[in-house]
Amino acid sequence: MGIDQFLKFFVPKDKKFFPLLEKASANLLTTAKVLRVMVNTADEAKRRELIKEIEHLEHIGDEITHEIFRELSLNFITPFDREDIHMLTSALDDIVDFIHGSAKRIELYKVTNFIPAIPKLAELIEKSAEELYTAINELRNMKNVGRIKEACVRINSIENHSDDIFDNAIARLFEEEKNAVEIIKIKEILSALETATDKCEDAANVIESIIVKHT
Amino acid sequence: MGIDQFLKFFVPKDKKFFPLLEKASANLLTTAKVLRVMVNTADEAKRRELIKEIEHLEHIGDEITHEIFRELSLNFITPFDREDIHMLTSALDDIVDFIHGSAKRIELYKVTNFIPAIPKLAELIEKSAEELYTAINELRNMKNVGRIKEACVRINSIENHSDDIFDNAIARLFEEEKNAVEIIKIKEILSALETATDKCEDAANVIESIIVKHT
Amino acid sequence: MGIDQFLKFFVPKDKKFFPLLEKASANLLTTAKVLRVMVNTADEAKRRELIKEIEHLEHIGDEITHEIFRELSLNFITPFDREDIHMLTSALDDIVDFIHGSAKRIELYKVTNFIPAIPKLAELIEKSAEELYTAINELRNMKNVGRIKEACVRINSIENHSDDIFDNAIARLFEEEKNAVEIIKIKEILSALETATDKCEDAANVIESIIVKHT
């Protein structure tokens, strides 16, 4: 055992990475909530306002991400493998980016045809964000590993469910929507939303690999 | 060092990762063969049955992948760099996922217009899967490094060939197909098939880097 | 430790990776310049010739990439973390690939409608390639870290600008272009160009993390 590893035993609790990861997951959860409200509102002015709010939250997320990356570069000692912290942070950042990307497209493409798959996917993103928030907050003390594992399993099953919703919505569009331009637009939105759930699964996979190593 | 880890120094040959990687590559090869038969059949009922078979093989592949990842988390000593095993496993998993993705879309989008590029790409995926199967089985003893290198070179050239087939098929669709919805559908299928050959190349690149380090 | 590896401890400065990375970034810059000229020319024969030139440069880039990867496998000692060299090389290779991909599509799809976003994105790719060239050439001596940081900040802001250009161009296409096939074509080209700027940002992020560790 090197002296550095030895010293680590005396660092009682990480004071940097846990608060930052918790902050990132809280910001993600807020973003997901605003998305869900946004795609369910019929009021266009309200929708535009909520899209602006998502854009603002995406900037905050970027700042948290950069803060974690800077800490990673400066700190030799981290509570988990550096790669795991890096991958988890990137995945959380990606989720917010894809939420923001779908919101931006809804505005830019002037989407008005909110087919049921759009609010449904937004709801699933919010659920995954809640599970990630719980799992990341439990990482700090590792007292409730069962709860963390449960959250990861749920996120995986939400992702499978999102895949099916996406595939079926596209198949339905091909059958029912005769306007190809409209198909392209909606497909772009659904695709950004579905990728957000993929990124939630990426985050859950990193968390799973962290707990396997630490239990 | 724990006693378990110590004992592993006396395990003369890896008994875990090689059989699992061989299993993953055998499962991939079977999946690729079913795909090739599926896109060449004119019998719709038969096609649906084969798509179900691909879905089943994809689940088996997922299980093998998770088994390898779990072993990676638990084992301190691995026959190659952990990252290489992780990346090779992920690439094999991705290939099966993209085969499954293209099969699922063929069913969901009710594709009936099997333009020549579809069976052609399926044939190239099968060839790459055969080369990967050979290369991975040779990894165990490293007696025939020349054969492994050959397989990797062939997979790279198959991927280049697939790129051309994809690009030309899309260009032809733009010229000949007047129905934009049909273009979008076929483009989605071709794109999933072409990405499967990209992932074969990713797998070959990992294998190449493994043999460079071990010879 | 072999004698070769031992001797390397006495190699005071890296003689391999810096020249190769500089070569890769010079090749990228040339490719970006040819792209910018190509999308601005109205002469079809000239355009075809420049696309062939881009294809040739992409092959040269591939060779440099493979050379760096081979060196990485053979060398125990590298001037930066192996992962960073690997990621930076891959990012540079990806940028050239996406430039080549967009050029190839312009030819194959017989694009004639060069909407303003195409030359605009090509210009931004060239600017990012210039910044990368500067940053990578400064990495060798690290005397001008401020200049490297500046380049990375600029590349990030170019990428944000590219995103906006892409999004607005797509939104405009949806409004003005009534031919869905034309929308799909142009969207494919813009998407390849925009991804090239994403890959420039990936390269800049690796460079940033290298300088944080070395200063």
Whats the size of chain A, residue-wise? 215
The answer to whether residue B187 neighbours chain C at the CB level (below 8 Å) is yes
Greatest CA separation for chain C: 69
CB contact under 8 A, B212 and C109: no
Is pLDDT of C215 > 80?
Answer: no
The answer to whether residue C212 neighbours chain A at the CB level (below 8 Å) is yes
- How many A/B residue pairs have CB atoms within 8 Å? 29
The answer to whether residue C49 neighbours chain A at the CB level (below 8 Å) is no
The answer to whether residue B23 neighbours chain A at the CB level (below 8 Å) is no
CB contact under 8 A, C167 and A105: yes
pLDDT value at residue C89: 96
Query: Which range is least confidently modeled, B38-47, B117-126, C14-23?
Result: C14-23
pTM: 0.85
Residues 6+ apart with CB under 8 A from A103: A35, A38, A50, A51, A54, A55
- Of B1, B183, B184, B186, which to mutate for an interface test with A (greatest number of A Cβ within 10 Å)? B184
Per-residue pLDDT tens digits for B66-98: 999 888 878 778 888 888 898 999 999 999 999
At residue A13 the predicted structure's pLDDT band, cuts being 50, 70 and 90, is low
Residue B202's nearest CA partner among B42, B67, B91, B120 is B91
pLDDT value at residue C52: 98
Alpha-carbon distance values, B126 to B25, B152, B153, B155, B207 (Å): 12, 14, 16, 11, 18
At residue C13 the predicted structure's pLDDT band, cuts being 50, 70 and 90, is low
Whole-number percent of chain C with pLDDT over 90: 76
Query: Which range is least confidently modeled, A105-109, B59-63, B81-85, C5-9?
Result: C5-9
| Rg from Cα positions in chain C | 19
Is pLDDT of C127 > 50?
Answer: yes
CA count, 13 A, side-chain hemisphere, C184: 27
Is pLDDT of B34 > 90?
Answer: yes
DSSP state of B80: S
Kindly report the average pLDDT of chain A as a whole number.
91
Enumerate residues 76 to 115 of chain B having a beta carbon within 8 A of any beta carbon in chain A.
104-105, 108-110
Buried residues in C78-102 as b, exposed as e (16+ CB within 10 A): bbbeeebbbbbbbbbbbbbbbbbbb
Over residues B113-138, mean pLDDT: 97
The answer to whether residue C214 neighbours chain A at the CB level (below 8 Å) is no
pLDDT value at residue B13: 56
DSSP state of A156: H
At residue C11 the predicted structure's pLDDT band, cuts being 50, 70 and 90, is very low
Of A70, A108, A110, the CB nearest to C167: A108
The answer to whether residue B184 neighbours chain C at the CB level (below 8 Å) is yes
Of B168, B180, B213, the CB nearest to C181: B180
At residue A11 the predicted structure's pLDDT band, cuts being 50, 70 and 90, is very low
Whats the size of chain C, residue-wise? 215
Query: Which range is least confidently modeled, A1-15, A107-121, A196-210?
Result: A1-15
pLDDT value at residue A70: 86
At residue C212 the predicted structure's pLDDT band, cuts being 50, 70 and 90, is confident
Of A167, A170, A213, the CB nearest to B73: A213
At residue A185 the predicted structure's pLDDT band, cuts being 50, 70 and 90, is very high
Sign of the Cα pseudo-torsion (A90, A93, A95, A100, in order): negative
Taking the C-alpha atoms of residue A140 and residue A211, their distance in angstroms, rounded to an integer, is 11
Per-residue pLDDT tens digits for C179-194: 999 999 999 999 999 9
The answer to whether residue C63 neighbours chain B at the CB level (below 8 Å) is no
Over residues A22-37, mean pLDDT: 98
Taking the C-alpha atoms of residue A131 and residue A124, their distance in angstroms, rounded to an integer, is 11
Query: Domain residue spans in chain A?
Result: 15-214
ipTM confidence score? 0.78
Is pLDDT of B1 > 50?
Answer: no
Of B167, B180, B213, the CB nearest to C184: B180
> Is domain C13-214 annotated with CATH 3.30.565.10?
no
> CATH number for the B15-214 domain, one of 1.10.10.10, 1.20.58.220, 1.10.3720.10, 3.40.50.300?
1.20.58.220
CB contact under 8 A, A108 and C213: no
At residue A78 the predicted structure's pLDDT band, cuts being 50, 70 and 90, is confident
At residue C1 the predicted structure's pLDDT band, cuts being 50, 70 and 90, is very low
Of C69, C74, C108, the CB nearest to B171: C108
pLDDT value at residue C10: 45
Per-residue pLDDT tens digits for B161-212: 999 999 999 999 999 998 999 999 999 999 999 999 999 999 999 998 888 7
Contacts of B187 in chain C (CB under 8 A): 184
Of B70, B73, B109, the CB nearest to A174: B109
Is pLDDT of B108 > 80?
Answer: yes
SS3 of residue B72 by DSSP? helix
Query: How close B109 comes to chain A (CA, Å)?
Result: 5
Over residues C127-150, mean pLDDT: 94
Taking the C-alpha atoms of residue C82 and residue A46, their distance in angstroms, rounded to an integer, is 49
Is pLDDT of A129 > 80?
Answer: yes
DSSP state of C127: H
CB contact under 8 A, A185 and C174: yes
Residue B103's nearest CA partner among B192, B185, B173 is B192
At residue A10 the predicted structure's pLDDT band, cuts being 50, 70 and 90, is very low
At residue C82 the predicted structure's pLDDT band, cuts being 50, 70 and 90, is confident
Query: Chains that contact C by 3+ CB pairs under 8 Å?
Result: A, B
Is pLDDT of A7 > 50?
Answer: no
pLDDT value at residue B136: 97
Query: Chains that contact A by 3+ CB pairs under 8 Å?
Result: B, C
pLDDT value at residue A72: 86
Kindly report the average pLDDT of chain B as a whole number.
91
Q: Considering only alpha carbons, which residue of chain B is nearest residue C73? A: B213
